[in-house]
Structure 1
Amino acid sequence: MASQRAAVTATVDRLIEEVGSWPHIEVGEHRFGGTEFRVGPREIGHVHEWGMLDIAYLRRLRDVLIEEGHTGVHHLLTESGWTTYYIESTDEFDHARWLLRLSYLYHVAVLQRTPAGSEELADVDVEAELAALAPSDTVRAAFERKPASA
């Protein structure tokens, strides 16, 4: 049990280091404990050392991600755009990173539509990075705020 806990903590530490290296990400303490990730004024998510990862999405995108089994309903804010994903082993690093990257790209895309964000975040190619994540057509449609059949 202690070795599993140490592995989860190491995976969380690796995730914090990785996400903290992304352009325009600020890492800090979260008000409810854990480590928070922000891009501009927006929190993309936060992670606790025991492996609970809370991630912010547009509600429709959150619903699709839950429906496809990528993540779960937030442990407290069940009607919000937030999700909770539990990192229970080192094998879950890549998926946790994928979930956070999707949130990051969504929030960058929203901010790029603002006067300040269009200039400040111009170096992030959201379309190319989204394509690299290879989301399902349904996830992509929700991300782009398009009808699923589009």
Structure 2
Amino acid sequence: MAKTDGTALIETVRSWPGVSLRPHRFGGTEFVANGKEIGHIHGVSLVDLMLPKAARDEAIELGKAVAHHVLPESNWVSVHLRTETDVRSALELLRFKYNLLITSEP
């Protein structure tokens, strides 16, 4: 398996305490914590997640993500998994969102 393959990303996120997986309504696999979506992956090559506006803007500015492929003006971002750096960026952003969700009230 290539290190840019999202399969390892899925297994990593699945291993975080309290995370479950379910089918996403627009296809792919959704990561859930505290009953809320962390983000989702389409196939093994595209991760989407919603961030607070400041975090969204910073992720895009730093090149860790791009504006969402369908809703570019929203707080959603997309990470195309093409390189090992992309996978690391996606995991970093998913972990950030996970931490937000597990520290907030359900």
Distance 1:53 1:106, change over 3 A: same
Q: Which of 2, 5, 9 is the aligned partner of 1:7?
A: 2
Q: CA deviation at 1:64?
A: 1.6
TM-score, length of structure 2 as denominator length: 0.86
- Please report the RMSD computed on the Cα atoms of aligned residues, expressed in angstroms: 1.9
Is 1:65 equivalent to 2:59 in the alignment? yes
Is 1:22 equivalent to 2:19 in the alignment? no
Once residues 106 and 40 of structure 1 are traced to their aligned partners in structure 2, the CA distance between those partners, rounded to angstroms, is: 10
Once residues 84 and 63 of structure 2 are traced to their aligned partners in structure 1, the CA distance between those partners, rounded to angstroms, is: 19
Distance 1:91 1:61, change over 3 A: closer
Give every structure 1 segment of 4 or more consecutive aligned residues whose post-TM-superposition deviation is greater than 3 Å: 89-92
Aligned length: 106
Q: Percent identity over the alignment? A: 36
Which one has more relative contact order, counting CA pairs under 8 Å at least 6 apart?
Answer: 2
SS at match of 1:80: coil
Q: Give unmatched runs, 5+ long, in structure 2.
A: none
Distance 1:90 1:60, change over 3 A: closer
Match of 1:146 in 2: none
Q: Deviations over 1:8-64 (max 9, x none)?
A: 7x7211111110010111111111111100112311100112401101211221112
Give the helix-richer structure, 1 or 2. 1
TM-score, length of structure 1 as denominator length: 0.63
Q: Which of 84, 101, 104 is the aligned partner of 2:95?
A: 101
Highest Rg: 1 or 2?
1
